[in-house]
Amino acid sequence: MKPKVVMDKKSVERAMARIAHEILERNRGVENLVILGIPTRGYHLAMMLQKKIEEIEGVSLQAGAVDATLYRDDIGLKEAQPLKKMDIPFPIDGKTVIMVDDVFFTGRTIRAAMNALMDFGRPVSIQLAVLVDRGHRELPIRADYVGKNIPTSLKEDVKVHVEELDGTSEVVVMPTEDRRRQ
């Protein structure tokens, strides 16, 4: 099986714009909202979301990055992973945090990211926005906003590409072995 583009730039943009609208609708505006992306690509999607919301409401929400690496449950099961961007330069107490990730899979990263977040304060609520939900949850966690549901097998990998790092925004499905060989 060859890598297959399941969302192109246009559909990524549209999905993020729809999520922006859903966030504003559910929260009745931008009051008290902050956005935190999970690096690497969740952070870039968070920046995209911030821009979309600004286009709609004319307000630029505070945005940052929450790295889950030090909170993961697989520490000691594989090599020590490089740390990523952790940048929460504003208080999150009493805020509604929109957490953004690229691919929603087992739910373990989200669990770790929520624990990291709690060390920075007590948000009034956390809502999860993901570009792709590929299924196979291992923890009782669900997303509040989903760009696209893509049913996958465990033999497949879902990769989100973003403009800043990969040249274009798109979502690609490829066989797992393929990535290992790369």
Partner 1 sequence: MRLNRKDLLGIEELSKEEIELILSTAASFKEVSEREIKKVPTLRGKTIINLFYEASTRTRTSFEIAAKRMSADAVNISVAASSAKKGETLKDTAKNLEAMNPDCIVVRHSSAGAPHMLARYLKSSVINAGDGAHEHPSQALLDMFTVKERLGRLEGLRIVIAGDIAHSRVARSNMHGFKKMGAEVTLCGPPTMMPKGIESICGVKSDMKDAIKDADVIMMLRIQLERQKEALFPSVREYSRVYGLDNEKLNGSKKDVIILHPGPVNRGVEISPEVADGPWSLILEQVKNGVAVRMALFYLLLGGVKE
Question: 3-33 burial, b if ≥16 CB within 10 A, otherwise e?
Answer: eeeebeeebbeebbbebbeebbeeeeebeeb
Any idea what DSSP says for residue 43? H
Q: Of the listed pieces 18-26, 65-73, 142-150, 164-172, which binds partner 1 according to CB under 8 A?
A: 65-73
Q: Which of 6, 47, 56, 86 binds partner 1 (CB under 8 A)?
A: 86
Residue 40 touching partner 1 (CB under 8 A): no
143 CB-contact burial (10 Å; exposed 0-12 / middle 13-18 / buried 19+): buried
3-class SS string, 72-117: CCCECCECCCCCCCCECCCCCCCCEEEEEEEEECCCHHHHHHHHHH
Q: How far is the CB of 94 from partner 1 (least distance, A)?
A: 15
Residue 139 touching partner 1 (CB under 8 A): no
- Complete edge-to-edge strand list for the sheet that includes strand 170-175: 4-7, 170-175, 156-161
Q: Of the listed pieces 7-15, 40-48, 75-83, 130-138, which binds partner 1 according to CB under 8 A?
A: 75-83
Rounded to whole angstroms, the Cα distance separating 67 from 39 reads: 6
Q: Which of 82, 140, 151, 167 binds partner 1 (CB under 8 A)?
A: 82
Query: For the window 103-122, what string marks contact with partner 1 as x by the rule CB under 8 A?
Result: ------------xx--xxx-
Residue 78 touching partner 1 (CB under 8 A): yes
Q: Which of 1, 59, 83, 154 binds partner 1 (CB under 8 A)?
A: 83
Shorter beta-carbon distance to partner 1: residue 48 or 114 = 114
Any idea what DSSP says for residue 160? E
Q: Which of 58, 79, 155, 165 binds partner 1 (CB under 8 A)?
A: 79
Q: Which of 25, 28, 58, 77 binds partner 1 (CB under 8 A)?
A: 77
How many residues touch partner 1 (CB under 8 A)?
Answer: 18
Give φ, ψ of 77 to 5 degrees: -100, -20
- Given the rule CB under 8 A, which residues bind partner 1? 67, 70-71, 75-80, 82-84, 86, 115-116, 119-121
